[in-house]
Amino acid sequence: MDVVFSEAHAHHAPREFLLRGNFAPMAETVERAENLVRAARDMGHRVTAPDDWGMAPLAAVHSVEYLEFLETGHRRWMELPGANPEIHPHAFPGRHMRTRPESIAGQVGYHIGDLSAPMVAGTWPAALASAHAAVQATELVLTGAPVAYALCRPPGHHAFADQAAGFCFVNNVAVAAQHARGKAGRVAILDVDVHHGNGTQGIFYDRSDVFFCSLHGDPGSFYPYFAGYRAESGAGAGTGYTLNLPLAHGTADADYLVALDRAIAAIRRFDPDVLLISLGFDAYEKDPLGVLRISTDGFAEIARRIAAIGRPTVLVQEGGYHVGDLGRNLQSFLGAYEATIGAGPRGG
């Protein structure tokens, strides 16, 4: 299948993020994407760089002021005396304050939701190219490919319309879904990353034209903590168009697949014209940040069941932090997907 990937991701290489009160080495690394693209090439997939789609597809889901912050924020931050070249905010609006301040020192806390989204000088060009990869893969599917893979880095599903968080800046899958909506009727997003896709949910929560479904580790004691519960099912016109299936920590292949079948049944009922997958590999049994126990063969079975839905599908890379095994988990997924739809590595 076609793999869309931009080398620009390497501009985004922060050193550290906050983990249990300590600054730990950044888990969302350049090596992740290098491992994934090497694995895709080794399978014979065609890897191409995205075109420049400009700002319009991003502005269709993100606020203009947020995009301006992403584009200019780091330069403004570096004008502060003694500023660390990695942005880590020190104050957040929380639940009780709403005003967006004029200063960059305040805006970093307004637009960055937590201490796991360090922003560096190269974050914006990387995030922009990552979103363009998602748009390009979607365009391939809209013009006839049965499936395409956007190898996005940085990932996107924790980014809200006006807020970065959890290694994410631009919500790639949301940008792709909105791009698909411009040319297709109904769009469904299935998020199989181990973390709840809180940003994606937030962007589409009150809409009935984009169905969002997420399987993830129970957020009661796991990131992102404040969303991803069963009772969250959409609001207003979107009531009933969000489905959350939180899973007990330690859930392995067999029980995961039961929940996946429930998600797939809901997607079939929604009857989408285009399906997008937020494809994280951090549900993997050895993932250092994960809480589930999906095996490499488990990812193949997940792929078979998704492929059997039989809809034009865009795979959008999200998390996955066991760098050494990322490539073989991707190969397991893509190989099983293509075998199910009857395409070879270069087919479609």
Catalytic residues: 158
Between 110 and 169, whose beta carbon lies closer to Zn ion? 169
CB of 283 to Zn ion, least distance (A): 8
Among 86, 232, 253, 282, contact with Zn ion (rule: CB under 5 A)? 282
Give residues with Cβ within 8 angstroms of 33, minimum separation 6. 5, 9, 10, 151, 153
Report CA dihedral (30, 34, 35, 40) to the nearest 10 degrees. Answer: 140
Q: CB 318 → Zn ion: shortest distance, Å?
A: 6
Q: Are 243 and 230 in contact, with CB atoms under 8 Å apart? A: no
Choices 248-256, 262-270, 298-306, 316-324 (CB under 5 A): range interacting with Zn ion: 316-324
Name the DSSP letter for residue 11: G
Measured from the CB atom, the residue of 228 and 319 that comes closer to Zn ion is 319
**Which residue number has the CB closest to Zn ion?**
319
Q: Say if CB 243 and CB 212 are below 8 A apart.
A: yes
Exposure string (b/e) for 305-325, b if CB count within 10 Å is 16 or more?
bbbeeebbbbbbbbbbbbbeb
Cβ distance 218 to 246 under 8 Å? yes
By CB under 5 A, name the one of 156, 319, 327, 348 that touches Zn ion. 319
Smallest distance from Zn ion to CB 199, Å: 12
Contact 122, 12 (CB under 8 A): yes
> Nearest distance from residue 292's CB to Zn ion, in Å?
11
Task: Output 165 or 176, the one with its CB closest to Zn ion.
Answer: 165
Judged by CB under 5 A, does residue 287 bind Zn ion?
Answer: no
Smallest gap from Cβ 319 to Zn ion, in A, equals 3
Token pair belonging to 29: 């690394």
Give whichever of 139 and 193 is closer to Zn ion, judged by the CB atom.
193
> Among residues 48 and 296, whose Cβ is nearest to Zn ion?
296
Binding mask 150-169 for Zn ion (x = CB under 5 A): --------------------
Tell me whether residue 33 or residue 104 sits nearer to Zn ion (CB atom).
33
How many residues make contact with Zn ion (CB under 5 A)? 5
Q: Is residue 280 close enough to count as binding Zn ion by CB under 5 A?
A: yes
CB 246 within 8 A of CB 230: yes
Binding mask 166-205 for Zn ion (x = CB under 5 A): ---------------------------x-x----------
C-alpha distances in Å from residue 271, one per residue of 278, 309, 340: 18, 10, 20
Is residue 217 at the binding interface for Zn ion, with CB under 5 A as the rule? no
Burial zone of 248 (CB within 10 Å; 0-12 exposed, 13-18 middle, 19+ buried): exposed
Query: 94: Cβ–Cβ under 8 A, 6 or more apart, which residues?
Result: none
Tokens at 288, concatenated: 């250092």
Residues with Cβ within 8 Å of residue 87, at least 6 apart in sequence: 73, 74, 77, 108, 112, 118, 119, 120
Question: Are residues 176 and 53 in contact, defined by beta-carbon separation less than 8 angstroms?
Answer: no
- Pick between residue 116 and residue 242 the one whose CB is nearest to Zn ion: 116
Interface mask (CB under 5 A) for Zn ion, residues 30-69, using x and -? ----------------------------------------
Let me know: does 201 contact 227? Beta carbons within 8 Å: yes
d(CA 234, CA 211): 9
CB of 27 to Zn ion, least distance (A): 10
Closest distance of CB 28 from Zn ion, Å = 9
Region from 175-183, 268-276, 315-323, 337-345 binding Zn ion, contact rule CB under 5 A: 315-323
Binding site for Zn ion (CB under 5 A): 193, 195, 280, 282, 319
